[in-house]
Structure 1
């Protein structure tokens, strides 16, 4: 089976407060989307990468990825237009994949420090037969269920997991779930990730071990953390020009 990675990079990322969309913010000289694409290529399990960008960022994205040498890699990397919401972007990306038997990895460009080994772990679990796979890590904080400002309950933390990306799926199953979701007059919920969409569609979702490095850069403090745990001398298989 071919493994195709869809990297969601069409969002604006307003909570980060940057002058450019979040995927194109630089972390020690390399944009988040560059780092995410490079991790996919380094994982050695991905056969194609599709970067989902907003139409107005396509030319800039192509320039950024080309300068980084990522559009000339041994593994094909191409651009496709995403939608207004993350679910719209993924659905648009899925419709560009012609191989119905493929495995698809859905990844957030903002999880730019995701280790290639974790990517491979997700992909291999799908290749072994699981229809939907998500990487997870234990929840460290106590979680409260609230209504307004009143606590209604405290879920058992031992049963809770924080979900990361990439999430892996058999393309045929994820495509069917999207067709049902977008074709429904009222699906009854908002799909916040692809795994929740599969759960809604009745597909079992299994977990693999995630990694703390796969955290999502969402706010300025996340970017501070990312800068702290990376340095300009980090090894990379690409020679990336610095501005």
Structure 2
């Protein structure tokens, strides 16, 4: 099956406090979007990249990717209009895929330093037969359940994991889950990511080892960390060894 990457870059990312949508903020001369698309191309496992952008940013995004050389890459890169919410954007991307059977990788452009090797791990697990795969990292902090300002519980940290992207899926499975979600008048929950949506649909999600470099740039402090990591002429990124 072909492997198709869908890079979500249609959100505004207001918590970063930038004057442009987050995916277009520059990190050491290259935008987060450029870096995320480059990671997909450099993985050498992706056969097509679909970039989800808001209609008002399409021309800017196309020019950005053209100047970066991504639109002239051997792997096709095309732009698709995203929706108002993340789920709407991903669904638009899935509808733009011409294949009936494929592996689809859903990735946040804000995780711009994701190592290509982690992308390969996710894709290979789906190619090996898994319906849904997420890369995960151990949780370092103690997590509290709260109601208002009161603590109601403390989950056992050993069983908790932080989920990253790209998340990989069998295309048919992800499409079916999305159809059910959008057909439901009241699904009873809000899908915070694509794996939670397929879980809601009854699909088993399996994990692979994530990577600290796949952190999400959300706040100014995250951007400071990313700039520190990429300082001094783009140092080599050392990936966590696969399991």
TM-score (normalised: structure 1): 0.96
Counterpart residue number, 1:47 = 47
The structure-2 alpha-carbon separation of the partners of 1:232 and 1:23, relative to structure 1 and needing over 3 Å to count, comes to farther
5+ unaligned residues in a row in structure 2: which ranges? Answer: 237-243
Taking the aligned partners of 2:235 and 2:228, their CA distance within structure 1 comes to 16
Aligned-pair CA distance for 1:231 = 2.5
Counterpart residue number, 2:135 = 135
The 8 Å contact of residues 28 and 232 in structure 1, kept in 2 or not, is answered as no
Counterpart residue number, 1:21 = 21
Taking the aligned partners of 2:218 and 2:232, their CA distance within structure 1 comes to 21
The structure-2 alpha-carbon separation of the partners of 1:33 and 1:232, relative to structure 1 and needing over 3 Å to count, comes to farther
Aligned-pair CA distance for 1:234 = 2.1
1:182 aligns with 2:219: no
Counterpart residue number, 1:8 = 8
The 8 Å contact of residues 135 and 208 in structure 1, kept in 2 or not, is answered as yes
Counterpart residue number, 1:168 = 168
Taking the aligned partners of 1:11 and 1:219, their CA distance within structure 2 comes to 14
Taking the aligned partners of 2:235 and 2:210, their CA distance within structure 1 comes to 22
Taking the aligned partners of 1:235 and 1:192, their CA distance within structure 2 comes to 33
Give per-residue Cα distances to partners, 1:139-187, cap 9 Å, x unaligned: 0000000000000010000000000000000000000000000000111
Counterpart residue number, 1:222 = 222
State the secondary structure of the residue aligned to 1:151: strand
Give per-residue Cα distances to partners, 1:12-42, cap 9 Å, x unaligned: 0000000100000000000000000000000
5+ unaligned residues in a row in structure 1: which ranges? Answer: 237-243
Taking the aligned partners of 2:235 and 2:207, their CA distance within structure 1 comes to 30
Taking the aligned partners of 2:14 and 2:235, their CA distance within structure 1 comes to 30
Taking the aligned partners of 1:235 and 1:71, their CA distance within structure 2 comes to 25
For these two proteins, the number of residue pairs brought into alignment is 236
Counterpart residue number, 1:31 = 31
Taking the aligned partners of 2:153 and 2:208, their CA distance within structure 1 comes to 28
The 8 Å contact of residues 22 and 110 in structure 1, kept in 2 or not, is answered as yes
Counterpart residue number, 1:93 = 93
State the secondary structure of the residue aligned to 1:90: helix
Give the 5 Å matches for 1:52-91: 52-91=52-91
Taking the aligned partners of 2:87 and 2:166, their CA distance within structure 1 comes to 14
RMSD between aligned residues: 0.9
Moved segments of 4+, more than 4 Å: none
TM-score (normalised: structure 2): 0.96
The structure-2 alpha-carbon separation of the partners of 1:180 and 1:92, relative to structure 1 and needing over 3 Å to count, comes to same
